Amino acid sequence: MHTRTVFTGGRVFDGVTTAQADVAIHGDRIVDVGIGLDGDEAVDCTGAFIVPGLFDCHVHIMASDFDVARSEQEPFSLPYYEAVRNLSLLLDQGITSARDAAGADAGVKRAIAKNLIEGPRLQTAIVMLSQTGGHGDLHLPSGGSRSMAMMMPHPGRPRSVRDGVDDVRRGVREILRAGADAIKVATTGGVMSTGDDPRHAHFRDDELAVIAEEVAAAGTYFFAHAQGTEGIKAALRHGARSIEHGYHLDDEAIDLLLRTGAWLVPTLSATQAIVDAADRGVPIPAESQALAREAVGAHRASFARAVDAGVKVAMGTDSPPYGHPSDSNLDELLLMTQASAMTPADAWRAATANSAALLRQDDLGALAPGKIADLVVVNGEVDDLRGLRGRIRSVILGGRRVR
């Protein structure tokens, strides 16, 4: 028999402002929000505020740091055990829902659902579609290829590199068959993939059209790793639900985001994390370091223009911050406010209601009767976004206190 638990004495963030209120939960649902609520148990939230469970819409739980050379020397199965730790670290930060943007397969998601391991509610893309010579093609000048664990094909993870309409169509179908919730496609090169250029557009219109056709038939969507301008616009013209990164947005790209209603997941943490890791001595290729340092300014300027125009923003980080204790996914909230006109309330909304809408999670993202009881109790003031990782007091996942 479930007890009625009341979180009392704190302030509740309603998506716009905070106000003194209690939150009552029963089983896995929020049943009331208001003043003076009673229940079987009380949780004192004095000196704290309560927000809905947080989202990170762009994680890679099978990656633990940026040291690709190290990961190439590790046993194949090790990233799965590292993922157990990484999922736990997400919960530590109040992230109760996440979208893995390549790496985690159906078995990881199933293990969470069966309570074999603990972790956020997880949506998966399994692998990222890439053209030959694209962001997911780990070909080396020597003729060999990198064996980056989160991209390596195996029975639960179809091959990433696809070319031509028929191969791309088959790729989408194979990835969906493997259990993906959505399809991720690289419509540009990337910073961390040597040999390609983030500014170049990848996949042609007929290839992108078949991706859009297949996801529509399956009742799902595709989202795009897109850093350069032309690749961003190509993805949007073919119905991408979200643009990940968006380093180089021009007026037309911003207009397409607005007209299509697509989301921007800026991942400001990503370029900064690469620069920080390189400064700590992580052996990141010189080409990638240079691209990341060059991209930081353009990335923030593009994001600021998108915010000013009213583009919808959801929270995602892309970076695997698990390898260094000073890093936190929640730093993204502060970065968004520093780089644009977003307020702290806007940042919290990006990490809650907006992200829930992007991932089609209607039962999450708000503190309201009937919603799933995912909530986070955070010490301090809601407008203070500094040091959030160390200020998490409690994390409730589906009505269960997991932290």
Residue positions annotated with a catalytic role: 184, 318
Q: Which helix (H) or strand (E) holds 106?
A: helix 106-113
Q: Which two tokens mark 339?
A: 């780089």
Please, are residues 272 and 280 in contact by the beta-carbon 8 Å criterion?
no
CA pair distance 178, 262, nearest whole angstrom: 26
How far, in Å, are 6, 116, 378 from residue 36 at the CA level?
A: 10, 38, 20
Q: Are strands 263-265 and 242-245 parallel, antiparallel or unpaired?
A: parallel
Please, are residues 139 and 194 in contact by the beta-carbon 8 Å criterion?
no
- State CA 342 to chain mean position distance: 19
CA pair distance 128, 134, nearest whole angstrom: 10
Please, are residues 267 and 316 in contact by the beta-carbon 8 Å criterion?
yes
Q: Are strands 29-34 and 121-124 parallel, antiparallel or unpaired?
A: unpaired
Please, are residues 32 and 292 in contact by the beta-carbon 8 Å criterion?
no
Closest CA to 26 of 13, 39, 17: 39
Closest CA to 399 of 374, 376, 377, 378: 374
Amino acid identity of 66? F
CA pair distance 314, 342, nearest whole angstrom: 12
CA pair distance 215, 207, nearest whole angstrom: 13
CA pair distance 24, 219, nearest whole angstrom: 35
Length of the chain: 403
Where helices occur in 261-343 by DSSP H, the ranges are 268-279, 286-309, 331-339
DSSP 8-state symbol, 32: E
Determine whether 206 is exposed, middle or buried from the number of CB atoms within 10 Å of its CB (0-12, 13-18, 19+): exposed
- State CA 298 to chain mean position distance: 21
